[in-house]
Amino acid sequence: MTRIKIIDRADMNAEQAKVHDAAKESGGPVGGPFYAYIRIPDLFQVAQDMRDTLGAGPLSERERLIVFMVVARHWNARYPWFAQSRNALKIGIERGIVDAINAREVPNLTDDRERTSYEVARELMESNKLSDASYAAAEAVMGETDLIGLVAASGQFVMTCCTANAFEVDPPADEPAPLRV
């Protein structure tokens, strides 16, 4: 059960309602960790803006979802894992890739950018940095700008996972690929 009360739209103050409605209208998330962020409307908006900015590029949707699943798996973040594994399956990321990340195994990623996205996110989560060799390899595949986007996406999703875990935001019961405990 979620530790914080979910604020119904009818109970939101004017500022909360404004950012909530704008996010909902644009197709942005309003649930999960955003149940917590809505209490600080500026934070809610900045989180939406960061999500939108990173969603517009430079990573592909597949690359971004691979990063998000690696981060969610690392943090054992059940709601973020639910949301991102569902999205991954929906856009055609193979079930074997989702299951491998869930099992903390190296997925079979044949695309160089997808494999690099996985490796960078995994190394950042495991060691809190990139080795010189990993940095050079990632920059060679991604280029400097896209590598910045990859690192930023990893960090942004850490915030999502920490929020979901701290407030015990639970996924729905009908998860397509439950997080392995």
**pLDDT for the residue numbered 176:** 62
pTM of the model: 0.91
Are 65 and 113 in the same domain? Answer: yes
Per the domain annotation, does 97 fall within a domain?
yes
**175 CB-contact burial (10 Å; exposed 0-12 / middle 13-18 / buried 19+):** middle
The answer to whether the beta carbons of residues 72 and 60 sit under 8 Å apart is: no
Asked if residue 100 and residue 125 are part of one domain, the reply reads: yes
Does one domain contain both 45 and 80? Answer: no
Backbone angles phi, psi at 172, to 5 degrees: -65, 165
We report the CATH number of the domain holding residue 91 as 1.20.1290.10
Give residue for tokens 């019961």.
173
CB atoms within 10 A of CB 151: 18
Task: Assess whether 42 and 86 both reside in one domain.
Answer: no
Cα angle value 98/100/105 (rounded, 5°): 145
What pLDDT does residue 35 have?
Answer: 87
Q: Residue 2 domain-assigned?
A: no
Q: Which portions of the chain are predicted below pLDDT 50?
A: none
CA dist 20 and 29 (Å) reads 9
d(CA 83, CA 4): 19
90 and 51 fall within a common domain:
no
Q: What's the pLDDT tens digit per position in 96-126? A: 999 999 999 999 999 999 999 999 999 999 9
**pLDDT number for residue 57:** 87
Q: Which domain holds residue 149?
A: 61-166
Within-domain flag for 158? yes
Residue 146 lies in a domain: yes
Predicted pLDDT of residue 177? 66
129/144 same-domain check: yes
Side-chain half-sphere exposure of 141, counting CA atoms within 13 A: 18
Cβ-based neighbour number of residue 83 at 10 Å: 23
Residue 3 lies in a domain: no
The answer to whether the beta carbons of residues 161 and 75 sit under 8 Å apart is yes
Same domain, 38 and 66: no
Split into its structural domains, the chain has a count of 2
Tell the residue number behind the tokens 């050079």, with chain if given.
Answer: 136
